[in-house]
Amino acid sequence: MSWRRWGAAVLFVFANVASAQKAVVSASVPGSEIDVTLVTIGLGEEVFERFGHDALIFRNALTGATVAYHWGQFSFDQPGFLRRFLTGDTRYWMGADDPRGLIERERMRGRPVTLQLLNLSPAQALSLLKAVETNSLEENKYYRYDYFRDNCATRLRDALDGAVGGALKRQTEGVPTDITYRRESIRLTDGDRPVQAGIDIALGRPADVPISEWKSFFIPMRLRDAARVMRIPGANGTQVPLVAKEWMVALPATTTPIPEATVAPHITLTYLYVGILFAVLIAGLRMLMMSHRAAAYALAFVGTVWSLLCGVLGVILLLAWMATQHVFWAYNENVLLLTPLSLALVVLLPIALLSGKAARPARMVAAINAAMGLVSLCLAIIPGGQESSPVVALLLPAQLAIAWALALPQQKHMSELARTR
């Protein structure tokens, strides 16, 4: 049996059971022929795949017709994609897809696929189908995507909740958790330190507010897990389980799924090691400057590149805060470490180190950067604030080392360098 035929058989084996059950239902009951299955797709290799995906499959038990609807569809080739992404004016859409093709594509990529046959009444199933069909119309399918508050999972969650009369939201909206948008982002990108660092730098204080269980369903896997224990009104008014049956689609033996961490990893200590190593490099070069001319040029290069990187990132963070629609990039305390003021050191630092000129303004700028970094450290250790400890651990040691290097007297080492020419 081919992989495609095998996958299709796995996907629809439950449908035969459901169809047999529905056969006893009168065909005159609207919606009694509709089966609805929640599909949850786990982590993938690409960054945008690390947060999972989900879809709803509708199957007509009388005609055998099937269709999958899912949200969060986009294309890198769409006009202005990068500009829209950077400004938060993202244009995503939802639509219909072939269920067999959707699941086969993802399982062949090694992404875990979970199927949950929903225990919806005929009226609920019909209501849900009509809602997504209306949403898929050309005039309705586009929307401004928000990675945390309006994505593929929240759109599906809202549609499903509407069909069951708000039962899902009533059960979960008031349930507090220790989950935050930052922690979930770090958890799901575990193993990719550069991506985790970028997330930690980009997200501001709003991403650190604990969210309710309802809001945690922006992650498809959270919705899948909660669905297992949720109950909804049945056809006769009694409470019934939301999920009637559940299956896992077997993955090809040649693929290895990416494990999903259960909690966000503690990465502050790892970043601190990196930060200290870079600070030691700066301090070591500064000490070697007393007798080695090459060390002065090396430190000037390292310090200039570092200052340029910090300054440019600082400008980006301020623009993201002030000039975009990215709510969770606002109120970002990381601008205290990645300050645009560092751009002044791109000019002042090499002049001060290599000629002894402009030493005073260079020291002042570096001292201000270090002081702002220390303020960031104080804010990071205050409970209930921005969880910026990893960023502080990574960046502050270098800022302090540069301030120390420029604070040392310049005249003596410059005379030593002059005699080596």
Residues 389 and 281 in one domain: yes
Residues 275 and 244 in one domain: no
What pLDDT, on a 0 to 100 scale, did the predictor assign at position 8? 46
Question: 3-state class of 94 per DSSP?
Answer: strand
**298: nearest Cα among 399, 417, 395, 392:** 417
Asked whether residue 261 is assigned to any structural domain, the reply reads no
Asked whether residue 148 is assigned to any structural domain, the reply reads yes
Residues 131 and 275 in one domain: no
What pLDDT, on a 0 to 100 scale, did the predictor assign at position 2? 45
What pLDDT, on a 0 to 100 scale, did the predictor assign at position 184? 97
Residues 278 and 245 in one domain: no
Buried b (16+ CB within 10 A) or exposed e, 285-303: bbebbeebbebbbbbbebb
Asked whether residue 230 is assigned to any structural domain, the reply reads yes
Residues 223 and 281 in one domain: no
Cα dihedral 75→81→82→88 (10° resolution):
-110
Q: Could you tell me if 386 and 205 are in contact, meaning their C-beta atoms sit under 8 angstroms apart? A: yes
Residues 98 and 53 in one domain: yes
**379: nearest Cα among 392, 368, 366, 367:** 392
What pLDDT, on a 0 to 100 scale, did the predictor assign at position 299? 96
Helices (H) and strands (E) in the chain, counts: 15, 9
The helix (H) or strand (E) run that includes residue 350 is: helix 342-355
What pLDDT, on a 0 to 100 scale, did the predictor assign at position 5? 45
Structure tokens at 407: 């604070």
The helix (H) or strand (E) run that includes residue 248 is: strand 243-249
Q: What is the 3-state secondary structure (H, E, C) of 8-71?
A: HHHHHHHHHHHHHHHCCCCCCCCCCCEEEEEEEECCCCCHHHCCCEEEEEEEECCCCCEEEEEE
Q: Cα–Cα distances in Å, from 314 out to 70, 271, 336, 342?
A: 37, 19, 8, 8
Residues 78 and 216 in one domain: yes
Asked whether residue 184 is assigned to any structural domain, the reply reads no
The helix (H) or strand (E) run that includes residue 96 is: strand 92-97
Q: Could you tell me if 220 and 152 are in contact, meaning their C-beta atoms sit under 8 angstroms apart? A: yes
Q: What is the pLDDT of residues 284-342, one digit of tens each?
A: 999 999 888 899 999 999 999 999 999 999 999 999 999 888 899 999 999 999 999 99
Structure tokens at 127: 């209501």
Specify the amino acid at residue 159.
Answer: A
Rounded to a whole number of angstroms, the distance between the first and last alpha carbons of the chain is 78
Structure tokens at 346: 């791109």
Asked whether residue 81 is assigned to any structural domain, the reply reads yes
Last residue of a domain, one of 249, 278, 313: 249
Residues 239 and 282 in one domain: no
Domain that includes residue 272, residue range? 268-419
What pLDDT, on a 0 to 100 scale, did the predictor assign at position 93? 87
pLDDT lower than 70: segments of the chain: 1-27, 76, 78, 80-82, 84-86, 410-421
Specify the amino acid at residue 42.
Answer: G
What pLDDT, on a 0 to 100 scale, did the predictor assign at position 414? 53
What pLDDT, on a 0 to 100 scale, did the predictor assign at position 309? 97
Residues 281 and 391 in one domain: yes
Residues 18 and 159 in one domain: yes
What pLDDT, on a 0 to 100 scale, did the predictor assign at position 145? 87
Asked whether residue 203 is assigned to any structural domain, the reply reads no
Residue 60: strand pairing partners: 34
Asked whether residue 205 is assigned to any structural domain, the reply reads no
Q: pTM for this structure?
A: 0.87
Last residue of a domain, one of 189, 221, 249: 249
Q: What is the pLDDT of residues 257-279, one digit of tens each?
A: 999 999 999 999 999 999 999 99
- DSSP string for 133-167: HHHTSTTTSEE--BTTTBSHHHHHHHHHHHHTTTH
Asked whether residue 167 is assigned to any structural domain, the reply reads yes
Residues 333 and 218 in one domain: no
Residues 393 and 332 in one domain: yes
Quote the number of domains for the chain. 2
